[in-house]
Every structure is written in C-alpha cells, then in structure tokens.
C-alpha cells in the first residue's frame, strides 16, 4: 500500500520505500484481474483488465517521477490515494460486481490506505527522531573528543583490571609513547623502569579506593626525572558500580623550574641587600686600614718575618677589597642596555684581555676564540657580556691552575633567533656534590673563592632573557653555555674597550701611596 508520509518527510524516503507498497498492490490487482478474466470472461473483459492496470501504473509512474524530480509529495498524496481507490473500484466494476460490493471494496481500500499511511507516518516520525537523536549524540561525542584531544593535560583511563581504555595525544606526548603502545595493555606492564609510581597511584582508585586530588609523583622516563601532578577519579556506571579510573596529569618540569627560579631570585634579592650593607659597613674602614698599612710599609724598613707579615697584610686586604667589589657588582648590577656590535671585534678584544690575564699569572694556556659565522653581529649589553665572559674564563683558568686548553665560542643558534657563548676547558670538571647549587651565591669549592662569579654570570644571563647551563666536556673538563634570545636593535656600536673590564681582571691592584695619603687626608 501507499508508504509516503507527506510534507517534510518525503525527502527522507528512498525509491524502494516509496514504491514497494504500490508495486505489491499492482501485482495483487493484476493477479486478481487476470484470474477473473480467465475463469469468468463473461463477467470481466481484457479491456477492463488493461484499463485497471493502466490506472494503477499511472500511480506508480507518479511515485517514480516524484522521486526522480524530488517533488514535494504533500500535493501528490491525495492524487495517489484517489488513484489507488479508483483502481480497486475498477477491479470490482470490470468483474461485474454489484454496486454494494463495489462500494464495500472502495471503503475497504480507503480504510487500508488510511491505516497504512498512519502506520508509516508514525514509523517515519520515529525514524526521524531517532536519526536526530543519533546526530545529537554524534555531535556530542565529536565535541567531547575534540576537547579531550586538545587539552594540554594528559588523560588516561583504565578499567578495574588495570587495562588502558583511552588516552589522548597529550598523554602520549608526556609519557613519550604511541597510543598503540598504550591502548589495550595493562598499566602495570606499561609503567616499568621508573614509572611505577603512576601505577601505584591510579590502580588503588580503579579498584575502589579513595580518589586522588592534586597528587604528585616523580617518574623516570628515558633517563630523565619528570615530576607529574595528577588527579585520579572513579569511573562509575549508571548502576553506581565502580568500573575503573580516569587520571588527568600534567608534566610539572617547567613549573618546578619556574618555582626554583623564583626562589632563587628571592635569595638573590636578599643577598643583594646584604652585599650593599656589607659594602657600606666595611669598605670605608677597610680603605683606612689598608691606607695606613701602605704608609707604614713605605716608611718602615722591614726584613725577614716582619716583611713577610707586612706583605701578607697587604695581600689579604687586597683580597678582601676584591670580595667587596664582587659584592657590589652582584648587588648593584646596572640596567641591561642591549646593543648591536660585530662579533669579531668582541672576539679580538676579549682575547687580548684574556691573554694579558694569563700572562700576568705566568700561565701556560692554549687559547682558542671563534665566532660562528664570522660576520655575525652580537646583540647584548657589551659591558655585561664582557663581564660574563671574563668570569667564566677566570673560573676555567683557576680550575686548570693556568695549565691546559681554553676554548671560547660565540655563535648563532636556532636559525639566528638565539645566541650562545660557550666557554670550555680541559680541567678536572665540577664535583658532583656541588652541581645542584653551582649558581647559588657563595657556593664554591675554591679555597679563596667568593662564590659569586657564576652567580653574576647567571644574573646577567637572566637579565638578557636567557640562561646558563653546565655540562661535562666530551674529552674531560667543563663547558658553560650561556644562551639568550636575539632582539631587534638597529644601531651598530663597538664593543667595550679593555679599560671597561680592568677591575674584573685585577685581583691585586697596584699600590699607590700618594693616592692613599690623599684618601686619608679627606
């Protein structure tokens, strides 16, 4: 029978659904007409049979045309119903049935049409509603999938047996594993070789234990320590039964470094205040004491042990003066002013100062300075860059006892977006027990060191937006790498002269008695 629901539903029916009922009606009526004509040709005629089938064929043709032309069947519906009823009435008429029988057939046909139309109309409404709900579910799943795939935190879901059910790209990135290596495997098998704390935190929750809020574990992945913050909650079925656990976790490495840098900056600020106070309280009386001793050394003729003691006093007072100067340099570092200047000029001037420093200590160091590429321009504060380089060089020279090889390299990195100053030596390297606090103020393994040289280097690097790292040299020794980003500075200026950094190299400044007497007379 007729299957069309009309209106907006017509476009949702395919060709077979729209004409299959009418095709069945065509076959039934054709068979009935043929039997009536064959066995009772006195009551039916071949012309009547052909007429009846033609009428019904017209209805089928209309259905086909409506499908092919994408017609709106709201207007076609009553026409096809009339044709169907007419076809049934013609069958009765050409079968020489009485008018009451024909009327009964027509009524029956109308009832069947109405019931069939109502049934398929409701079915189609349900189909459309189900299709709409399915689309809503698909859209919701797509949105959830997009949210899960694009969050920066890792997401890992396990069932109550510990089998990984779902992961997101951030999880694979943090754990440095492919999703195919995670899905379908037990968490205990995945988290081996330093990742066991992840299993120990997630599995108790999956098995029904208490949820974990703002937990933190330390994992070892590919030889790297990785602090991870995570929340673990239950996966609960509609019945209320715990089906597993879902964990959302984040790599805290960067946050830990930032926190450590903040704490370090706080310590640096406190040390700066302390250095300023020490300088104000000690420098003036120290100058008076040193000046007085220098005057006595000029006026007295000492020999033997007394001369040695006088030389020791002068030497140690000079060292104390150097320490105070380091304090002041550390606590009162001026504002960074970046400039652009040729790398070769910086290389030539810093090489000259280093060679003079080595010669003054009777050292035997083979110095190698390079710039990569040769025509690169340096963008930095010239004075602070020189101070930073000299502090690293002096540390290296003292570590080698002024015997060995020293390499300095200034180069561009990351397609010209960053610059690096590397200072390498072939000395004994840095002891393991002080590496963690290498850049902490006052931390030193030298008998006469102040522990401020590397702290000043780090502070200058941070002021340039960069950092400084230590690593062991491949052939033995130490390498310090200072890296900072390039910034746009149009002007081209010369690097600082040697006179700007004489105070860095002068461990024992010359004694000037006349100047000392002038200071004492003020």
Per-residue model confidence as pLDDT tens digits over 452-486: 778 888 888 988 889 998 888 877 889 999 999 98
Distance (Å, rounded) from C-alpha 45 to C-alpha 243?
A: 74
- Tokens encoding 157: 């879901």
Q: Largest Cα–Cα distance of the chain, in whole Å?
A: 163
- Tokens encoding 286: 């120290």
Segment (H or E) for 96: none
Per-residue model confidence as pLDDT tens digits over 297-316: 777 777 888 888 888 888 77
* Residue with the larger pLDDT of the pair 48 and 364: 364
Per-residue model confidence as pLDDT tens digits over 109-168: 777 767 766 776 677 678 778 888 888 888 888 888 888 888 888 999 999 898 999 999
Domain spanning 257-332+512-521, CATH architecture: Orthogonal Bundle (1.10)
Out of 3.40.50.720, 3.30.450.20, 3.60.10.10, 3.30.720.200, which CATH number does the structure's domain 151-251 have? 3.30.450.20
pLDDT at 497: 42
Q: How many CB atoms lie within 10 A of CB 35?
A: 12
Distance (Å, rounded) from C-alpha 115 to C-alpha 127?
A: 18
Query: Residue 497 contacts by C-beta under 8 Å, 6 or more apart in sequence?
Result: 349
CA atoms within 13 A on the CB side of 7: 6
The pTM assigned to this predicted structure is 0.42
| For the chain, percent of residues with pLDDT exceeding 90 | 12
Give residue limits of the domains in the chain.
Answer: 7-130, 151-251, 257-332+512-521, 339-505
Out of 2.60.40.650, 3.30.565.10, 3.80.10.10, 3.40.50.720, which CATH number does the structure's domain 339-505 have? 3.30.565.10
Contact in structure between 478 and 427 (CB atoms under 8 Å): yes
Contact in structure between 183 and 167 (CB atoms under 8 Å): yes
According to DSSP, the residues that pair with 164 across neighbouring strands are: 158
The string of DSSP codes covering 403-467 is: EEEEEEEEEEETTTTEEEEEEEE-S----GGGSTTTTSTT---STT--S-HHHHHHHHHHHTT-E
pLDDT band at 413 (very low <50, low <70, confident <90, very high): confident
CA atoms within 13 A on the CB side of 186: 9
pLDDT at 516: 32
Distance (Å, rounded) from C-alpha 394 to C-alpha 400?
A: 10
Q: Nearest CA to 265 among 93, 441, 90, 101?
A: 441
Q: Nearest CA to 113 among 146, 136, 89?
A: 89
């Amino acid at each position: 029978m007729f299957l069309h629901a009309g209106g907006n539903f017509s476009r949702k029916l395919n060709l077979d659904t729209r004409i299959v009922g009418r095709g069945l009606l065509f076959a039934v009526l054709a068979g009935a007409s043929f039997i009536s004509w064959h066995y009772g040709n006195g009551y039916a005629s071949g012309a009547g049979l052909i007429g009846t089938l033609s009428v019904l064929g017209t209805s089928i043709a209309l259905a086909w045309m409506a499908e092919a032309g994408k017609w709106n069947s709201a207007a076609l519906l009553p026409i096809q119903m009339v044709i169907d009823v007419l076809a049934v009435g013609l069958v009765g008429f050409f079968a020489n049935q009485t008018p009451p029988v024909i009327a009964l057939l027509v009524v029956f046909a109308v009832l069947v049409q109405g019931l069939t139309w109502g049934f398929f109309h409701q079915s189609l409404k349900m189909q459309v509603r189900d299709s709409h709900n399915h689309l809503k579910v698909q859209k919701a799943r797509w949105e959830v999938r997009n949210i899960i795939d694009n969050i920066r935190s890792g997401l890992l879901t396990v069932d109550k047996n510990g089998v990984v059910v779902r992961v997101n790209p951030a999880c694979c990135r943090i754990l440095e594993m492919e999703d195919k290596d995670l899905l379908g495997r037990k968490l205990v098998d995945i988290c081996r070789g330093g990742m066991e704390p992840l299993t120990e935190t997630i599995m108790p929750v999956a098995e029904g234990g208490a949820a974990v809020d703002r937990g933190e574990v330390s994992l070892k992945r590919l030889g790297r320590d990785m602090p991870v913050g995570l929340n673990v909650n239950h996966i609960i079925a509609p019945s209320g039964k715990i089906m597993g656990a879902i964990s959302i976790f984040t790599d805290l490495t960067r946050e830990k470094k930032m926190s450590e840098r903040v704490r370090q900056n706080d310590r640096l600020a406190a040390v700066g205040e302390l250095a300023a106070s020490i300088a104000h309280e000690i420098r003036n009386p120290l100058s008076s004491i040193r000046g007085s001793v220098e005057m006595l050394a000029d006026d007295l003729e000492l020999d033997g042990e007394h001369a040695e003691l006088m030389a020791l006093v002068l030497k140690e007072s000079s060292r104390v003066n150097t320490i105070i100067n380091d304090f002041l340099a550390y606590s009162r570092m001026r504002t960074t002013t970046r400039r652009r200047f040729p790398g070769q000029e910086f290389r030539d001037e810093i090489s000259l100062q280093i060679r003079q420093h080595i010669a003054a200590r009777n050292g035997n160091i083979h110095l190698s300075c390079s710039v990569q590429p040769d025509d690169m321009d340096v963008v930095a504060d010239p004075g602070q860059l020189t101070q930073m380089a000299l502090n690293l060089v002096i540390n290296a020279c003292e570590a080698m006892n002024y015997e060995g090889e020293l390499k300095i390299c200034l180069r561009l990195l990351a397609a010209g977006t960053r610059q690096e100053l590397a200072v390498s030596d072939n000395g004994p390297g840095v002891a393991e027990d002080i590496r963690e606090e290498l850049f902490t103020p006052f931390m030193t393994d030298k008998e006469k060191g102040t522990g401020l040289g590397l702290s000043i280097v780090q502070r200058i690097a941070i002021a340039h937006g960069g950092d400084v790292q230590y690593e062991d040299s491949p052939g033995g020794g130490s390498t310090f790498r200072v890296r900072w980003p390039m910034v746009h500075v149009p002007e081209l200026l010369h690097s600082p002269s040697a006179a700007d950094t004489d105070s860095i190299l002068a461990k024992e400044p010359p004694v000037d008695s006349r100047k000392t007497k002038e200071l004492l007379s003020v």
